[in-house]
Amino acid sequence: MPGLIECVPNFSEGRREEVVDEIVRAVASIDGVTVLDHTSDVTHNRSVITFAGSAQPVVRAATAAVGRALELIDMEQHTGAHPRIGAVDVIPFVPLGTTRIEECVDLARRFGEQIAARFDLPVYLYGEAALRPERRRLAAVRRGQYEAIRDEIATEAHRAPDFGPARVHPRGGAVAVGARKPLIAFNINLRTDDLGLAIKIANAIRESSGGMPAVQAMGILLENPGMPRMAQVSTNLVDWERTGIAAVVNEVRRLAREAGTDIDHCELIGLAPTGALLEVTANALRLADFSADQALELRLARDR
């Protein structure tokens, strides 16, 4: 698996199943690409497809998906709860395995330039691929959404796209193309129903309130029928090489014990990089000189 890359495009369609299916089919039809997941949200009227492969097939699949979405989705007809700027709203490229983020930055920029030319579509680069520092945060690119970009792109300098025309695509609007590290969605369930404690711990660990780098967190109360109520620290680890699962769990355990309770169990939501999981192994066993290369299937995947 040389240069394995994940792509997670978000589309402004979550209600017409047949449209989503068509776009998924366009991705899956490309040789060398694996569709890992796709989910649709009716309230948001939005879908997310997760697929992976090496650079060339991934670019080919993303291009096919954009083409199909521009045919099938009309932004002038779109409503939904989630902020969006186009039929294909956002296309992040994510490094997997031994791929470096720099490769995804390069890929995002080349891909952005290509689709801008091919589909006559304004492209904004965001995340690690941003060319303007103020566009690193996706929320900044999306401010005012499709409607504001449509109305201001020709006249407001700060709306000028990085590639493509200074007018929105007649049906598809605009698109944000970027690169980011893989995200781990990880929940820690406490042996208590004290929501206040979960919120307090979330505040203590999250970067935005001065906690651990690259950690997002919030406290919530799980109320499932037939189950005891349980306070949860729900986290996103946006750069596990800076702050990994083990570090977060150790800190949450320490804070929970300080408050006289403990972690009950944890949940990993969706997929996570194998390296991030093996780091927990190495930490738990205090493994000397451990390398993820010692995991047989990973080593093989790398060498093939």
Q: Contact between 176 and a second copy (CB under 8 A)? A: no
Q: Contact between 267 and a second copy (CB under 8 A)? A: yes
CB nearer to a second copy: pick between 117 and 268: 268
The site for a second copy, by CB under 8 A, has a size of 46
Segment near a second copy (CB under 8 A); pick from 62-70, 102-110, 151-159, 276-284: 276-284
Segment near a second copy (CB under 8 A); pick from 104-112, 136-144, 213-221, 286-294: 286-294
Segment near a second copy (CB under 8 A); pick from 12-20, 122-130, 134-142, 245-253: 245-253
Q: Contact between 28 and a second copy (CB under 8 A)? A: no
One of 27, 88, 249, 256 touching a second copy (CB under 8 A): 249
Q: CA–CA separation, 55 vs 111, rounded Å?
A: 10
Going from the C-alpha of 20 to that of each of 13, 26, 189, 234, 272, the distances in angstroms are 7, 10, 34, 29, 24
Which parts of 91-120 interact with a second copy (CB under 8 A)?
A: 96-97
Q: Which residues are catalytic?
A: 82
Q: CA–CA separation, 152 vs 138, rounded Å?
A: 18
Angle at 199 between CA 194 and CA 200, to 5 degrees: 95
Please, which residues have CB within 8 angstroms of residue 166's CB and are 6 or more apart in sequence? 122, 153, 154, 160
Least Cα distance to 23 among 31, 32, 35 occurs for: 35
Supply the minimum distance, in Å, between the C-beta of residue 283 and a second copy.
8
Supply the minimum distance, in Å, between the C-beta of residue 168 and a second copy.
35
Q: Contact between 34 and a second copy (CB under 8 A)? A: yes
DSSP secondary structure, 134-187, as one string:
GGSSHHHHHTTHHHHHHHHTTT-GGG--SBS-SS-BTTTB-EEEEE----EEEE
- Element (H or E) spanning 190, and its range? strand 184-190
Binding positions for a second copy, rule: CB under 8 A: 1, 4, 6, 34, 36, 52, 96-97, 182, 189, 245-246, 249, 263-268, 270-274, 277-278, 280-281, 283-290, 294-301, 303-304
